[in-house]
Structures are given as structure tokens and as C-alpha cells.
Amino acid sequence: MTEGMKKEIFMKPISTISGIIVVSAMLAGCADMSQTQQRALTGSVGGAAAGGLIGAAAGNAGMGAAVGAGLGLTGGFLLGRHNEAVNRAYEQGRTSGSKN
């Protein structure tokens, strides 16, 4: 067994555990966020990932990620605000319907 293979066998479980910890921390961090904040965060992360991939294919991954993050943030924010307005309208209708 070569030195590189030993290092790879040792590092694989560490990287897996690190990934699990990072994902768990991200999910726990969203617990106290409003629906709009969660949508904005999800949109910006997804937009940055998609923009980075598209930018890498076009020759500038950083610019693509920045543009994608901005667009994703805007879209996620608007979607969250819309969903909150729909929920408020539903609750108002439900409350006024139960008073009659």
C-alpha cells in the first residue's frame, strides 16, 4: 500500500464527517429564520452554485456565482414575501369566517 493510498483511506471518513457537520449546522442555523429569510438564503446559495457552474463554462466562475447569488437572493426574497402574504390572507379569511 502506497503512502497516497494510506492518506486517502484516512482522509475519506474525515471529509464525510466534516460534510455532515456543515450540513447539520446550516440546517440548525435556519431554525430561527422567517420563511422569507429561508427562501432568500436558499435562493442565493442555489443561484451562486448555478451561476458558478455556468460562469465556469463561460470562462468566469466568480462573476457567474456573484450574478447567480444576486438573482437567487432576489427571487427567493420575492417568493418568501408572496408566500407570507398568501398565508396572512388565508388566516384573515379563516378568522373572519369563524366569527360568523
- Same domain, yes or no: 38 and 14: no
Do 65 and 85 reside in the same domain of the chain? yes
Q: Which run of H or E residues covers position 83?
A: helix 61-99
The tally of domains found in the chain comes to 2
| Residues 79, 97 share a domain | yes
Same domain, 92 and 60: yes
Q: Which of 43, 39, 33 is nearest to 83 (CA)?
A: 39
Verify that 46 and 74 share a domain, yes or no. yes
Reported as a single tens digit per residue, the pLDDT across 17-62 is: 777 777 777 667 677 888 888 889 889 888 988 998 898 888 888 8
Q: Residue 15: which domain range? A: 1-32
Do 7 and 48 lie in a common domain?
A: no
56 vs 49, 66, 68, CA distance in Å?
A: 11, 12, 12
Asked whether residue 77 carries a pLDDT value surpassing 90, the answer given is yes
**Residue 76 confidence class, pLDDT cut points 50, 70, 90:** very high
Are 8 and 38 in the same domain?
no
Cell of 7: 492518506
The pLDDT of residue 18: 72
